[in-house]
Amino acid sequence: MDVFEIVNKKRYLPIALALTASLLYGFSAPLSKLLLGTIAPMFMVALLYCGAGAGMFMLRLFSGVDRKERSLSRRELPAVIAMVLLDVAAPFLLMKGLQGCAASNASLLNNFEMVATSLVAMLFFREKVTRRTWTAIALVTFASILLSVDFHDATALMFTHSSLLILGACVCWGIENNCTRVLSVASPLEIVVVKGFGSGLTAFALAWLNREAVPSLLYAVYALLLGFVAYGLSIYFYVLAQRRLGAARTSTYYATAPFIGVLLSMAILKELPGWNFWLAFGIMLSGMYVTSREK
């Protein structure tokens, strides 16, 4: 019995897979923030996804864990193209946002991805969104607004540019999650390889056309390794979880990733968030608790 048969038979394993995916992705924001000091944003996107694609290709080549899985077909090409393009746009917006935003804030704002994923799943893919999920969506949306507004000038409250870029990334990933849900009947490893190389090479071409500075070999290797863990393995476990949970429910468990990113940001970057961060943190925790009670 291989891992895919186990996923289909074990009731709680998909939840464990979604939480594992979120744990691995939690490393992305704080470590990307460090690397952005030496790597341009589009090159960063390219290296992250190429690291994911290359690492998962080697895993597929030598492990053979999904030999029983069917390959992607020509019929699924539109969803593949949409997935690749959105996977270039989303992390680019995130990297640009990280340049002017604390990594802890960016990590918490990533929870808005759950909102976007659930709304797209309901409106376009007819997934059922329960009352508990709606409550969680409302809480996460309110907390995202708290994190996105500049409170330094009470007479002219306005959304910060960096926060809006990160929310834009979440919307792109919300749409992309639903495209991946369409593809999840095919080999998860193949999906990650196609996603990694497709998005990575597209980002490389854009970085080259934009004449971004080529990073040093050492930092490029760091970014590739981060991509393998935070994007490759994370996406792989995410796709497995989606098979049983659907896009909306998987995204609610995956929303624990930002909290991991917050803790890492405080430990690695020594960031001290303001009062609005802690209020948003409590509200988002309440949202996660509400979804965790859903049967």
Q: In this predicted structure, which of 55-59, 227-231, 255-259 has the lowest mean pLDDT? A: 255-259
The sign of the dihedral angle between the CA atoms of 208, 213, 218, 223 is negative
- Cβ pair 69, 186 in contact under 8 A: yes
How many CB atoms sit inside 10 A of residue 246's CB? 21
Q: What is the DSSP string of 251-284?
A: HHHHTTHHHHHHHHHHHHH-----HHHHHHHHHH
pLDDT, mean over the chain: 80
The string of pLDDT tens digits covering residues 236-269 is 888 788 777 776 677 667 766 666 777 777 777 6
Q: How far apart are CA 38 and CA 216, in angstroms?
A: 8
Rounded to the nearest 10°, the torsion over CA 59, 61, 63, 68 is 110
Distance CA 150, CA 105 (A): 12
CA–CA dist 39, 218 (Å, integer): 11
Residue bearing the bigger pLDDT, 105 or 96: 96
Percent of the chain with pLDDT over 70: 82
pLDDT, residue 6, reads 47
CA distance 287 to 200: 33
- Split at pLDDT 50, 70, 90, the class of 293 is low
CA distance 282 to 26: 18
